[in-house]
Amino acid sequence: MNAPGPKIRPEIRQLDESAVNRIAAGEVVERPASAVKELVENAIDAGARRIEVAYADGGKTLIRVRDDGHGMSPEELPLALARHATSKIDGSDLLNIRSFGFRGEALPSLGAVGRLTITSRAQGAPGARITVSGGRMEPARPEAAPHGTCVELRDLFHATPARLKFLRSDRAEAQAIADVLRRLALAAPQVGFALHDVSQGGHREILRLDAGQGTLFDALEARVAAVLGREFTANALRIDAAREGLRLTGFAGLPTFSRGAAVAQYFAVNGRPVSDKLLVGALRAAYADVLARDRHPVAVLEIGCVPELVDVNVHPAKTEVRFRDPGLARGLVVSGLRHALAEGGHRSSSTLGGALGAMAAQRPATPSSGARQAAYNLQAPLGMAESPAQWDVSARAEPAPEPEPDAPLGAARAQLHGNYIIAQTPDGMLIVDQHAAHERLVYERLKRARAVSGVPAQTLLIPEIVEPGAAQAAELLDMAADLAQLGLVIEPFGGGAVAVRATPAPLGTVDAAALIRDILDELADQGTSAQLEARLDAVLSRMACHGSVRAGRQMRPDEMNALLREMEATPQSGQCNHGRPPYVELSLAQIEALFGRR
């Protein structure tokens, strides 16, 4: 057998400019939507007030972006196609970035992988046109053109045909283009946008958004309504919170106006649309206490700050950012949204459609028969006492007087099917799910009591032995001190068993073994990375479910009215612990429409 010959040492070579541009294009331009994003951002940076986008075959054969921005002179066109040439920054301070673009890579990258033509005219200068194909640039030539710029990209990836195999169908690529434009439109409400499909010589309008007028919030609200629908703005809360140089603004949907997937969450930082894991996680955490795990909030949010507090030079696509203080940004989102949700009080979805969508959320597991029977026999709504000493959920309310005519949730008139309270309001009616409504009220009482003095416990005469298994017993015992704050006192009993010494007093007589199993299920659902506070809240939520008025329990008129009054006084009572609406409101107009009176 011949010995292997000496290895040939590879030489280091300087790549030519065409290869460098194609490599760079792989980072900047992943698909037609990426090209649209870069071109539209350039137009916004150019001060455009109106931007028109057209595409053919999902953007694979044609992308055209026309704007009325400040344009370019004939001398600037060749420079615009040179790598790392930009008018956005001078390179002296990469943290003080106030524009979308700053790398000077988009246009040369597009010219390296497609056939690019730029036609532009600046104020007081003649129009000009320049073309580049596969990285080969032709000289600029005079061209009659309106003020502004038109960029036309044909045959994307014709210079790198292997990339075409990774593109999806024309329809999927077109949907991605529309999504990119919607995100940019939400981040720039003062700019008008239009999107057209010109495939096969057609001219189909996909999207048209007029420039917003009035204050920033008014312009954003109009744009949000145009993009996400007026149903969202009618069921959303205005967000405006600030902390240590960061300001959070936008709109967040009520928990009962949720989606089955995270498809309607839009974030921006200093006007730049971003897809940031930190912000997505903060949004999820803010709604964790009021939304079921398989439901997702709807939100349009922006964080504004001085450029030095955020680094946008993280990725060539500029969709990720890095905050100087990530904890501060996350805390602002969580606290700002939670404060707004609490101020929303008893608000629930104002539309029947939004409410029915939230009702599709998965219902919690059925609690034990012992706990259910105790709750069924003992529970009744409280008045509005705030003292922790008066939070015993087995106490009965005093007869409530007839509510004032302007009471937001009206007066109880009847109970149907043992679970639904019918209330009359000045301009309509409510259908209240008594269990869902009371579950939130009990949950808030438990949280208030825990925050003030911990949950009172009642010692069992004979400890109850529960055998969940070694692993789950260890998990419970690791949290024994925290569970004791909730009134549940456990001790090790050996062999994968625990002894329950005391249970939460507010629940009365409960099946301790079933309660332990429910808590273990809830903790398992939360995952190992869940914050301790969230896990404790999950336990409280399960306890509240045990201790709430059950379906089938007959309620007196004074009890029903007491429930309505407490809902009005309790933050976040517009949704139960699982994100479902505790009530549905029908206005007189809706009722009359059902009977054809309008």
Q: For 120-141, what is each residue's pLDDT tens digit?
A: 999 889 999 999 987 788 888 9
Token digits for 90?
Answer: 């001078």
Question: What is the Cα–Cα distance from 62 to 60, expressed in whole angstroms?
Answer: 6
- CA distances 288 to 281, 535, 578, Å, are 10, 10, 9
Q: For 349-368, what is each residue's pLDDT tens digit?
A: 555 444 444 433 333 334 44
Token digits for 408?
Answer: 């937001």
Query: What structural domains and CATH numbers belong to the chain?
Result: 17-209 (3.30.565.10), 216-344 (3.30.230.10), 369-585 (3.30.1370.100)
What pLDDT is recorded for position 178?
Answer: 93
CB 504 within 8 A of CB 457: yes
Question: What is the Cα–Cα distance from 507 to 379, expressed in whole angstroms?
Answer: 9
Going 329 to 334 to 335 to 339, the CA torsion angle's sign is positive
State the pairing for strand pair 428-433/583-587: antiparallel
Token digits for 277?
Answer: 């894991």
Question: What is the Cα–Cα distance from 302 to 45, expressed in whole angstroms?
Answer: 18
* Residue 454, C-beta contacts closer than 8 angstroms, at least 6 positions apart: 484, 485, 486, 487
| Residue-wise burial string across 492-529, b where 16 or more C-beta atoms lie within 10 A, e elsewhere | ebeeeebbbbbbbbbbbebbbbbbbbbbbebbeebeee
* Residue 583, C-beta contacts closer than 8 angstroms, at least 6 positions apart: 348, 409, 423, 430, 431, 432, 433, 437, 567
- β partners of residue 142: 128
CB 550 within 8 A of CB 369: no
- β partners of residue 500: 464, 490
State the pairing for strand pair 50-56/192-197: parallel
Going 344 to 561 to 579 to 485, the CA torsion angle's sign is positive
Amino acid identity for residue 589 in this structure: A
Question: What is the Cα–Cα distance from 44 to 188, expressed in whole angstroms?
Answer: 8
Q: Which has the closest alpha carbon to 475: 539, 565, 562?
A: 539
Share of the chain above pLDDT 70, in %: 75
Q: Which has the closest alpha carbon to 451: 364, 363, 516, 391?
A: 391
* Residue 166, φ and ψ in degrees, nearest 5: -90, -5
Going 95 to 101 to 105 to 109, the CA torsion angle's sign is positive
| Residue-wise burial string across 150-170, b where 16 or more C-beta atoms lie within 10 A, e elsewhere | bbbbbbbbbbbeebeeebeeb
Q: Distance between alpha carbon 172 and the CA centroid of its chain, in Å?
A: 23
The long-range contacts involving 390-399, CB below 8 angstroms and separated by at least 24 positions, are 391/445, 391/446, 391/448, 391/449, 391/506, 392/505, 392/506, 393/442, 393/445, 393/506, 393/507, 393/547, 394/506, 394/508, 396/559, 397/558, 397/559, 397/562, 398/558, 399/556, 399/558
Token digits for 295?
Answer: 């439901």
Q: With a cut of 70, list the residues of the chain below it in pLDDT.
A: 1-7, 14-28, 83-104, 313-318, 345-406, 506-508, 522-539, 546-552, 575-579, 598
Question: What is the Cα–Cα distance from 185 to 180, expressed in whole angstroms?
Answer: 9
* Residue 105, C-beta contacts closer than 8 angstroms, at least 6 positions apart: 24, 28, 83, 84, 316
* Residue 270, C-beta contacts closer than 8 angstroms, at least 6 positions apart: 98, 302, 303, 304, 305, 307, 310, 312
CB 520 within 8 A of CB 504: no
Q: How many CB atoms lie within 10 A of CB 535?
A: 18
What pLDDT is recorded for position 399?
Answer: 43
* Residue 62, C-beta contacts closer than 8 angstroms, at least 6 positions apart: 54, 55, 56, 152, 153, 154, 198
Token digits for 195?
Answer: 């999107």
Residue whose structure tokens are 């001398």: 75
CB 40 within 8 A of CB 194: no
What pLDDT is recorded for position 161?
Answer: 80
Question: What is the Cα–Cα distance from 36 to 181, expressed in whole angstroms?
Answer: 8
- CA distances 249 to 237, 400, 459, 554, Å, are 11, 41, 49, 45
User: If you compute the radius of gyration of the chain from its CA atoms, what whole number of angstroms results?
Assistant: 30
